[in-house]
C-alpha cells in the first residue's frame, strides 16, 4: 500500500475558453504535477468540480488523466455521483482505464439513513475489482462517517482507506484505532496536514496541494525526518497562503486557476455557480502567487 503514501493533489477541473472540458489542458496539468514529484492524483473530486459536471464530462477527465499518467503515478478516481447507477458506471469506466483505486462521497441531497449509505458504498465496491477509499467530508455532505459504519464496511476486503476531510484531527486517530494497521487514512484538511500526519494519517489528499506541491512535499519530508519545528514552519506558510487563496471574490479554485495562468499554465476558469475572480481582486493574484513562488 506504499503507493498511496505521499502527497496526492486533488486534480482541478480543466476547461477551455468556452468552459468545456479541455483534453489538452487536462494533459498539461497532469504532466505538470507529475514533474513536481507528487505521489499520485485524486481525479474528479471536490476540486475537480465533479458536482458541476455531467457523466460524459467526468468520464472524459478520467480518460485524459489516465492517458497521460497511467503507470507513472497512483491514480484514484472519485466516482461519487447523485445516483448509485451513475457512480457504478463511473467506477466500471475507471477500472477499464486502469485506475488504481476508487473513492466516493456518501449520497448527497436527501438525508438518507446510514443503512442506505452503507448500501451505496457497498454497491460501488462490489461493482469492480478495484480497492475503495471512503471520502468523508461532513461539511459538504452532511454525513460524518461513524465508527459503527466503518467497522461494518471493513468486512469488505475492497475497503483500503478513508480520505478524511472532517476538521477534528481526532477523527483520523479514531479511524486508525478502529481499523487494521495497514488501513490508510488520508489527511483531508490541508490546513492541518502536519497535525494530521502526527496523529496517524498515512498520507494526504488535498485541494491546495496542486497550487503549491513543493511546500507539501517539503512538509512531508520534515515529518518523515521527525523535524517537527521545520514541519510546523512550513504548515504556517501553507496556512497563510490558504487564507490568502480564500480571501478574494470568486472561489478558492478561481484564485488557484488565475495563479496558474500567471505561471503560463492555462487550465481555464471555474464553472458556475462558482464565480471567477473579478475586478480589483484580479490585481491581488500576483501577490498571492508570490507568496508561493518565492
Which positions are annotated as active-site residues?
A: 135, 163
260-279 in b/e form (b: 16+ CB < 10 A) is beeeeebbbbbbeebebbee
| CB 155, min distance to ligand NAY, A | 26
Q: Which is nearer to ligand NAY, 115 or 139 (CB)?
A: 139
Torsion of the alpha carbons at 222, 224, 225 and 229, rounded to the nearest 10: 40
CB nearer to ligand NAY: give 101 or 137. 137
- Tell me how far apart the alpha carbons of residues 220 and 223 are, in angstroms, rounded to a whole number: 5
* Residue number with CB closer to ligand NAY (60 or 152): 60
**Which C-beta is closer to ligand NAY: that of 78 or that of 158?**
78
- Beta bridge partners, 75, equal 41
CB closer to ligand NAY out of 226 and 273: 273
| Residue 214, C-alpha cell as written in the block | 513543493
CB of 169 to ligand NAY, least distance (A): 13
Give buried/exposed letters for 128-140 (b at 16+ CB in 10 A, else e).
Answer: bebbbbbbbbeee
Query: What minimum distance in Å lies between the beta carbon of 115 and ligand NAY?
Result: 25
**C-alpha distances in Å from residue 97, one per residue of 81, 127, 130, 194:** 18, 15, 12, 33
CB of 249 to ligand NAY, least distance (A): 17
Enter the C-alpha cell of residue 228. 517537527
Nearest to 14 by CA among 3, 23, 2: 23
**CB 130 within 8 Å of CB 95:** yes
d(CA 202, CA 194): 11
Q: Which is nearer to ligand NAY, 11 or 129 (CB)?
A: 11
Distance CA 255, CA 93 (A): 31
Binding site for ligand NAY (CB under 6 A): 10, 42, 45-47, 137, 139-140, 165, 188-191, 205-208, 242
Enumerate residues 6+ apart whose C-beta is below 8 A from 177: none
Amino acid at each position: 500500500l506504499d503507493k498511496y503514501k505521499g502527497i496526492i493533489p486533488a486534480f482541478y477541473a480543466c476547461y477551455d475558453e468556452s468552459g468545456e472540458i479541455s483534453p489538452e489542458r487536462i494533459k498539461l496539468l497532469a504532466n505538470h504535477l507529475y514533474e513536481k514529484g507528487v505521489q499520485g492524483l485524486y481525479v474528479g473530486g471536490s476540486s475537480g468540480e465533479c458536482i458541476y459536471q455531467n457523466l460524459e464530462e467526468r468520464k472524459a477527465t478520467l480518460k485524459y488523466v489516465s492517458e497521460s499518467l497511467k503507470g507513472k503515478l497512483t491514480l484514484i478516481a472519485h466516482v461519487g455521483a447523485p445516483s448509485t447507477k451513475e457512480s457504478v458506471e463511473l467506477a466500471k469506466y475507471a477500472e477499464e482505464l486502469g485506475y488504481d483505486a476508487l473513492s466516493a462521497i456518501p449520497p448527497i441531497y436527501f438525508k438518507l439513513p446510514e443503512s442506505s449509505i452503507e448500501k451505496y458504498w457497498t454497491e460501488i465496491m462490489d461493482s469492480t475489482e478495484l480497492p475503495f477509499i471512503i471520502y468523508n467530508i461532513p461539511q459538504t455532505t452532511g454525513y460524518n462517517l461513524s465508527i459503527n459504519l466503518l467497522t461494518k464496511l471493513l468486512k469488505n476486503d475492497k475497503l483500503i482507506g478513508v480520505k478524511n476531510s472532517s476538521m477534528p484531527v481526532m477523527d483520523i486517530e479514531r479511524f486508525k484505532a478502529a481499523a487494521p494497521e495497514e488501513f490508510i487514512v488520508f489527511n483531508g484538511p490541508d490546513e492541518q496536514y502536519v497535525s494530521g500526519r502526527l496523529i496517524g494519517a498515512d498520507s494526504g489528499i488535498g485541494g491546495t496541494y496542486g497550487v503549491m506541491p513543493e511546500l507539501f512535499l517539503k512538509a512531508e519530508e520534515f515529518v518523515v525526518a521527525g523535524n517537527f519545528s521545520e514541519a510546523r514552519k512550513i504548515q504556517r506558510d501553507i496556512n497563510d497562503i490558504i487564507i490568502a487563496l480564500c480571501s478574494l471574490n470568486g472561489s478558492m479554485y478561481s484564485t488557484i486557476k488565475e495563479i496558474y495562468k500567471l505561471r503560463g499554465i492555462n487550465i481555464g476558469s471555474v464553472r458556475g455557480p462558482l464565480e471567477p475572480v473579478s475586478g480589483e481582486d484580479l490585481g491581488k493574484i500576483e501577490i498571492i502567487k508570490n507568496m508561493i513562488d518565492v
